[in-house]
């Protein structure tokens, strides 16, 4: 599939999947297992729009007991659900050209691309979407610590008490809040009553009034060469511990 869309990273899709299990011994964890649920929510200008994609999928195989214990999705529940190939076009239309925000993106994108290949669909996610891995982000921010979704909710004081089992749509909504907290700024997640799945009612920015400060004659003091060298050494230490400082971006 040729990518004719312009990537629009200001349109973010926070996404999660549930699967029949994972191959513990194989090279690729997704081979032999299938996606059974996809949940994705749209964020524009750091606000949930109300537009989302959610579907359960018949994997044409049994769910592993270990996976069922995590998400509670049974074989009986999935037997009348659509196959991946029948929902693939709608799914592609929803994510194509956007920035995908996923926790442990290698896992979900690996499954997605495996499903596309198995269905005979020429779509490679990373060629059509920007992919942001919040697990990799969390490991840079909190090196050496646990960084699963529940732990991040606790760190950022996000209420996930309603999350008794994993569910793709619920986890995507929680991850959206975690991601916005991780990236700073206010997180405006409530929907307006007028918003629906086809209309993005995003709040418009207020006009800014420029304040004239000509009366202030401020003296600019530049850093000396020695000070710049010491600053660079400090950034080197930060980079070594954190994997990259924001001051060098």
The β-bridge partners of 17 are 38
Beta strands 11-19; 99-102: pairing state: parallel
Range 214-234 burial, b when 16+ CB lie within 10 A, else e: eeeeeeeeeeeeeeeeeeeee
**Are residues 38 and 54 in contact, defined by beta-carbon separation less than 8 angstroms?**
yes
Is residue 71 annotated as part of the catalytic site, yes or no? no
Per the structure block, which two tokens stand in for 48?
Answer: 């949930």
Catalytic residue among 52, 54, 166, 200: 166
Q: How far apart are CA 242 and CA 154, in angstroms?
A: 21
Instruction: Supply φ then ψ for residue 131, to 5 degrees.
Output: -120, 120
Residues classed as catalytic: 166
């Amino acid at each position: 599939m040729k990518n004719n869309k312009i990537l629009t990273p200001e349109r973010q899709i926070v996404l999660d999947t549930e699967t029949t299990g994972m191959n513990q011994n194989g090279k690729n964890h997704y081979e032999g297992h299938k996606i059974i649920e996809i949940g994705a929510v749209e964020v524009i200008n750091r606000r949930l729009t109300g537009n989302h994609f959610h579907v359960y999928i018949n994997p044409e195989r049994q769910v592993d007991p270990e996976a069922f214990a995590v998400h509670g999705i049974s074989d009986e529940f999935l037997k009348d659900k659509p196959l991946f190939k029948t929902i693939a076009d709608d799914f592609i239309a929803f994510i194509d050209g956007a920035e995908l925000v996923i926790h442990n993106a290698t896992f979900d994108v690996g499954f997605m691309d495996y499903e596309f290949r198995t269905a005979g669909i020429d779509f490679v996610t990373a060629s059509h979407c920007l992919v942001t891995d919040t697990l990799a982000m969390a490991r840079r921010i909190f090196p050496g610590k646990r960084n699963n979704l529940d732990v991040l909710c606790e760190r950022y004081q996000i209420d996930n008490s309603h999350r008794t089992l994993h569910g793709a749509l619920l986890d995507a909504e929680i991850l959206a809040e975690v991601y916005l907290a991780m990236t700073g700024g206010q997180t405006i997640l409530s929907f307006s009553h007028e918003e629906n799945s086809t209309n993005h009612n995003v709040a418009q920015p207020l006009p800014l009034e420029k304040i004239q400060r000509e009366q202030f004659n401020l003296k600019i003091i530049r850093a000396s060469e020695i000070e710049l060298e010491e600053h660079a050494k400090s950034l080197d230490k930060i980079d070594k511990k954190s994997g990259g400082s924001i001051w060098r971006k």
